[in-house]
Structure 1
């Protein structure tokens, strides 16, 4: 199993990319776990309908569960377990009543699961921030706190026997994201060709290296034998260009100007290569076009854009657009798998799936 964190220090469609990659990896025959570690819970809202999210966030309200059982017409109630989010997993640590609590993921479809997020996760930020420096002294309580995401994801991954785990994190360099990134084997970075993404890279790269160094050099040597702690590899896989919608007020030349700068900034800030080559685009995994016209259809149908059918409203030329979308995301997924450590995806079950 390999975990991939999708992360950049600016909002560039990271959650949409996570959602579609999860579905495409499943189409390619992998067992996939998606984990929502963004306190805004955007991935959860893409995967589940409002009634399911209400059930998740009602703290196991017996009244709500009984109402759901009495109204089988409400969609998807069997897919989720009340009070089974990442925030519920870390609540005992936050409240000082124990270690991580066991949680079950939501089964979205065969071989695809979601460990849902929650707005309550934001309460964990201060706790993680306070405990970080204490890990350097080998404080076991601090280490339990800082590794809570890693250990929860490992427990859920083992329960569903996932081949690949996708971690969706918010666009900041706070304590929640530090704990999330430390739990990641690899990092995939979605970028836009603009100033904000490049500035994000210049902040992100040195920060990841600092987190990796501090954890591996200062914390890991002090962790007791037998404690399940992450290695904090955070290996950069490369970047994906998320193409914007071209407008008259943002001419093509401006887009190309920023696009040309990305390889140099990525090599310098993220890979710490000196001197980098300005023209080295070997770390660009793919460029995804803007599928804005398919987005509302996919949202209403609650399915990936590349799975839209004429019955979902993807008619005529839109259906050709859907096919193009499928080819691009399949190419991206296959390219990502090629960059993962050997053995990832060895659990693939019989090749591509339909639907």
Structure 2
């Protein structure tokens, strides 16, 4: 099992759309066993994948099993729970889902407060900070666990990132996405220093490694690639080319990505980190959201007509290429 968090400090980059469609393609077309964890209090992944009727029924239940059910015992001082949350079987996306919950935002203060004890090596602080490592350990039968998080560098996202194997950055072609890369780099550097200091202090004070579920913990997060969103194309002599408004930013991206993200945060510098570019899909995304369906699986009954069918097939090709490159970077088949 490998855990991957889709993350960008900048919002509006199509992160949730990318994650859900990649997860769906891996599950439906590539027959991978996929678990998606909605760790964003805005719950966009959950609302995308579940029908309106199922959403209402789920959240009207005070005893619902969501990501908050997992974090709540930690917040109440009861430590890790061994009981698994039962994932939701998504109807059209093919993957299993641990639903998001707006109450997850209540864990932000606890995770922020316990960071200093974690970096000092205190067991309680480390246990709280690395809580998502325990969550992933409970679902080892999956090939991949994909985490969706909000666009922030706060304590909640820090805990998710620190606990994952890889991170993937959805990008849009604008100057603010470029600026966000520097923020991500600085934050990851600081978090790595903090957690490694904490683990070293724990070993010194307790005379043993800090473990989660019997396994020694270490910093393992590695960059696995980026995908470009909201890229508008035009056709010149039958060939898709970039529009002028994006060219300047697009030219700056490879060098900045290399210096801020790839060189300091990738474990293998020889990979092709450009997973693909996703052209603006016009009205397909709203149709996908209304139908609670992957873009590449939209049907006529979902409102697809005429030339939209060509766009649906193009989307299938785009997500296939991204998934092929992602699996290649991950080393192919999961053993």
> How does the TM-score come out when normalised to structure 2?
0.86
Decide which of 92, 116, 119 is 1:136's aligned counterpart.
119
Decide which of 175, 180, 185 is 2:160's aligned counterpart.
180
Partner of 1:287: 277
State the 1:47 CA deviation.
1.0
Choose between structure 1 and 2: higher strand proportion: 2
State the 1:53 CA deviation.
2.8
Is 1:87–1:117's contact at 8 Å kept on the other side of the alignment? yes
Q: Does 1:239 align with 2:226?
A: yes
Within a 5 Å distance, the mapping from 1:105-184 to structure 2 comes to 105-109=87-91, 112-155=95-138, 157-158=139-140, 161-184=141-164
Partner of 2:180: 200
Partner of 1:69: none
Q: Unaligned 5+ residue runs, structure 2?
A: 204-208, 235-241, 265-269
Within a 5 Å distance, the mapping from 1:4-153 to structure 2 comes to 4-11=4-11, 12-26=13-27, 27-58=29-60, 60-61=61-62, 82-100=63-81, 102-109=84-91, 112-153=95-136
Decide which of 240, 245, 252 is 1:261's aligned counterpart.
252
Is 1:150–1:230's contact at 8 Å kept on the other side of the alignment? no
Q: Unaligned 5+ residue runs, structure 1?
A: 62-81, 274-279, 347-355
199 and 211 in structure 1: CA distance in 2 versus 1, 3 angstrom threshold: same
How far apart, CA to CA, are the structure 2 residues paired with 1:145 and 1:152? 12
Q: Give 3-state SS (helix, strand or coil) of 1:218's partner.
A: helix
RMSD of aligned residue pairs (Cα, Å): 2.4
> How does the TM-score come out when normalised to structure 1?
0.81
102 and 233 in structure 1: CA distance in 2 versus 1, 3 angstrom threshold: same
Is 1:183–1:230's contact at 8 Å kept on the other side of the alignment? no
Is 1:45–1:53's contact at 8 Å kept on the other side of the alignment? yes
State the 1:97 CA deviation.
4.0
Is 2:120–2:201's contact at 8 Å kept on the other side of the alignment? no
How far apart, CA to CA, are the structure 2 residues paired with 1:28 and 1:117? 25
Decide which of 300, 303, 307 is 1:310's aligned counterpart.
300
Partner of 2:238: none
How far apart, CA to CA, are the structure 1 residues paired with 2:53 and 2:75? 27
In the alignment of these two chains, the number of paired residues is 312
